[in-house]
């Protein structure tokens, strides 16, 4: 750490050098939006002078400023080193405001590298210190970044809560407001709520679109264009992206330039302007290696590969796969495998195509496991954050959620070893038999084997889709509103009409209440329960299905009863587990995930769910919702 003793230089010379240092720092801040690289060089020069002058406060300030610029330039190792040194300097000086800002920057550096646990810990420490010293600007920034982490972990409700609290704390004109508004927009985009997303994007740009440009203006423009592109507004997106690209080049923001080129290439490709698309992807790839952005490089390689003939396309995809594996980009690795499957099938290389198909599905299962782990991590971070804010959160409730998450992980592990392996084994074994049949010229037998392989693939995809739906149900935030259950049930019955064709079905729908809940999720509950009642009453000449409700103090009891085949009541507790089935798949089709979804949704609404039945005499599924 620097020695902060008095310098031997004369007072006049010392004052002049101090002024020179301050001027360099000011110049660095002024040009950051135009040329970050040059701004970093000026900060480094000022820091060197401050060290020579042995000026503790200016050394600490320079370290923090330089580390911030290095973070924005993606030089994370250097940024961590300088931010940690800044923290030590501010602590030695007793500057608690500087200490809070240093902790916040360290949290940001860890967060951008997906190291969410240490990032959240550092940001919570920075937020706590900011509250103590009344530094609302730093506190708002910490809340903003905690919101980003919650978003990355799929905890959208906590993310929005943190971001809106940050926006309430910012003073008017704070340069960080556009960033927080952009983060809110990104969350709404992820939830598919494009109108809200576009509204927050425009609010962010209205504050950042100034002269000289805000450091994030190019990135904000790109994010707005991405939302427009995803919502089908391609012409508007094209114009915004052209502007984002020009501004990114003007200020030296190479990362945004690369991302904008990728988005532009996709728009040109969608418009069948293939030459322009190729040009954009090629320019983007030249930048990708410079900015050390493996995710952007992988996506550019994938997009470019779709416009290239086989040898070049295959080379691009294999390179993308190698990068994705090296930096653990599993979602992109899965997508590359799927692209290779299509390419290899067109080339007639079916064995290699099957190998990539199996690898893609393996990665898909790993992603599901990681999503479950993220849910647990999000719950832990949420709990710790509640403690830091002195919120009286029930530890028992959080522990119960963790217990349920662990049970789901156990069930998924079983599914990997049993349910998902079965169709994979079928594909593998029958693919070998198919090869032998083709070699022997037995086309009829080969056709039968191919049919079995296709059925197994369909079964496996259905299981994976069901698992992904189950994961999403736990990640999306509740959107509470008043829901008329009577109207909701009749809408579900309309959706089920195709399943009632050619059958005698008598519906006894009682008087149902209006409750407060998420209409989409409650629709899923009734759809699963009513479709199950239809399915398991198929053997009856006339299916009789009753839906009823009963008020019980502070809750509603709702029940769906059928006269179907029922089940052994000894195994009722197993019904709500992932892939738990009490009937043979040959008798009643399904994935075994629907009731697990029902249980998760009911629990998220503060209710409970259970089932009762007798074999051969029908079943009753009951659940409660707060009144």
pLDDT at 4: 34
On average, the pLDDT of the chain sits at 82
CA distances from 59 to 10, 45, 68, 110 (A): 19, 11, 14, 23
- Per-residue pLDDT, averaged over 539-553, amounts to 91
Residues facing 551 on adjacent strands: 556
- Per-residue pLDDT, averaged over 502-511, amounts to 91
Residue with tokens 């550096």: 109
Helix axes 485-495, 519-536, angle to 10 degrees: 50
Least confident of 184-188, 283-287, 304-308, 585-589: 585-589
Spatial contact of 515 and 556, defined as CB atoms under 8 Å apart: yes
Pair of tokens at residue 37: 């690289």
- Phi and psi of 505, rounded to 5°? -130, 125
CA distances from 64 to 85, 94, 287, 296, 390 (A): 9, 15, 28, 28, 30
- Per-residue pLDDT, averaged over 420-446, amounts to 71
Is there a cis peptide before residue 71, judged by omega within 30 degrees of 0?
no
Distance CA 213, CA 385 (A): 35
Least confident of 57-66, 299-308, 436-445: 436-445
Distance CA 110, CA 104 (A): 10
Sign of the CA dihedral 422, 427, 429, 433?
Answer: positive
- Phi and psi of 243, rounded to 5°? -70, -45
- Per-residue pLDDT, averaged over 318-346, amounts to 92
pLDDT at 438: 77
Helix axes 350-388, 395-417, angle to 10 degrees: 170
- Predicted confidence (pLDDT) at residue 585 exceeds the cutoff of 90: no
| DSSP code for 214 | P
- Phi and psi of 308, rounded to 5°? -110, 155
533: nearest Cα among 557, 556, 499: 499
- Predicted confidence (pLDDT) at residue 358 exceeds the cutoff of 80: yes
- Per-residue pLDDT, averaged over 410-439, amounts to 63
> Exposed, middle or buried, 239 (CB in 10 Å: 0-12/13-18/19+)?
exposed
Distance CA 318, CA 351 (A): 17
- Per-residue pLDDT, averaged over 562-574, amounts to 78
Number of neighbours of residue 315 by Cβ within 10 angstroms:
13
**What H or E segment, with its residue span, contains residue 542?**
strand 542-552
Q: Which domains does the chain have, with CATH numbers?
A: 373-475 (1.10.287), 480-626 (3.30.565.10)
Residues 6+ apart with CB under 8 A from 607: 555, 623, 624, 625, 626
Angle at 480 between CA 479 and CA 486, to 5 degrees: 115
pLDDT at 448: 77
- Per-residue pLDDT, averaged over 45-54, amounts to 89
């Amino acid at each position: 750490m620097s020695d902060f003793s008095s310098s031997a230089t004369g007072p006049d010379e010392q004052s002049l050098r101090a002024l020179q240092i301050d001027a360099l720092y000011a110049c660095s801040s002024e040009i950051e939006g135009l040329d970050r690289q040059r701004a970093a060089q000026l900060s480094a020069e000022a820091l060197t002078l401050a060290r020579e002058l042995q000026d503790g406060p200016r050394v600490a300030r320079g370290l923090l400023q330089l580390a911030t610029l290095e973070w924005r330039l993606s030089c994370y190792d250097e940024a961590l080193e300088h931010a940690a040194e800044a923290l030590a300097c501010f602590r030695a000086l007793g500057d608690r405001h500087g200490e809070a800002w240093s902790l916040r920057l360290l949290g940001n550096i860890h967060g951008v590298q997906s190291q969410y646990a240490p990032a959240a810990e550092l940001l919570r420490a920075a937020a706590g210190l900011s509250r103590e010293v009344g530094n609302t600007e730093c506190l708002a920034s910490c809340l903003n970044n905690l919101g980003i982490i919650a978003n990355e972990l799929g905890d959208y409700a906590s993310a929005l809560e943190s971001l809106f609290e940050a926006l309430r704390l910012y003073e008017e004109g704070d340069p960080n407001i556009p960033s927080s508004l952009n983060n809110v927009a990104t969350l709404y985009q992820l939830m598919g709520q494009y109108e809200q997303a576009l509204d927050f994007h425009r609010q962010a740009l209205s504050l950042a679109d100034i002269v000289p440009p805000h450091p994030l203006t190019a990135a904000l423009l790109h994010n707005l264009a991405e939302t427009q592109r995803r919502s089908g507004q391609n012409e508007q997106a094209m114009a915004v992206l052209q502007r984002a690209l020009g501004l990114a080049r003007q200020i030296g923001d190479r990362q945004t330039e690369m991302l904008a080129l990728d988005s532009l290439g996709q728009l040109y490709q969608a418009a069948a302007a293939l030459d322009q698309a190729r040009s954009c992807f090629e320019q983007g790839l030249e930048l990708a290696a410079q900015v050390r952005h493996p995710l952007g490089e992988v996506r550019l390689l994938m997009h470019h590969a779709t416009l290239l003939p086989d040898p070049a396309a295959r080379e691009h995809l294999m390179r993308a796969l190698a990068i994705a594996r090296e930096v653990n980009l599993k979602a992109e690795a899965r997508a590359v495998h799927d692209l290779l499957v299509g390419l290899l099938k067109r080339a007639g290389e079916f064995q290699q195509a099957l190998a990539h198909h199996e690898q893609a599905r393996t990665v898909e299962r790993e992603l599901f496991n990681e999503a479950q782990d993220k849910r647990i991590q999000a719950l832990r971070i949420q709990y710790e954050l509640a403690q830091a804010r002195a919120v009286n959160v029930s530890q028992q409730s959080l522990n119960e959620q963790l217990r349920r998450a662990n049970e789901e992980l156990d069930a998924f592990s079983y599914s990997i070893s049993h349910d998902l392996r079965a169709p994979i084994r079928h594909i593998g074994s029958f693919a070998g038999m198919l090869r032998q049949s083709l070699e022997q010229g037995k086309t009829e037998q080969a056709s039968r084997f191919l049919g079995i392989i296709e059925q197994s693939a369909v079964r496996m995809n259905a299981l994976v889709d069901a698992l992904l739906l189950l994961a999403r149900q736990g990640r999306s935030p509740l959107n509470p509103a008043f829901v008329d259950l009577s109207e909701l049930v009749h809408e579900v019955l309309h959706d089920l009409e195709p399943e009632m064709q050619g059958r005698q079905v008598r519906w006894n729908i009682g008087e149902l209440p209006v409750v407060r809940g998420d209409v989409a999720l409650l629709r899923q509950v009734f759809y699963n329960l009513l479709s199950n009642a239809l399915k398991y009453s198929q053997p009856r000449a006339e299916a009789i299905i009753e839906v009823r409700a009963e008020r019980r103090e502070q809750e509603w009891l709702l029940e769906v009863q059928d006269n179907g085949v029922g089940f052994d009541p000894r195994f009722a507790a197993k019904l709500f587990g992932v892939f738990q089935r009490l009937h043979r798949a040959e008798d009643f089709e399904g994935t075994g995930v629907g009731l697990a979804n029902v249980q998760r949704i009911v629990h998220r609404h503060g209710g409970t769910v259970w089932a009762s039945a007798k074999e051969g005499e029908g079943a009753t599924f009951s659940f409660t919702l707060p009144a």
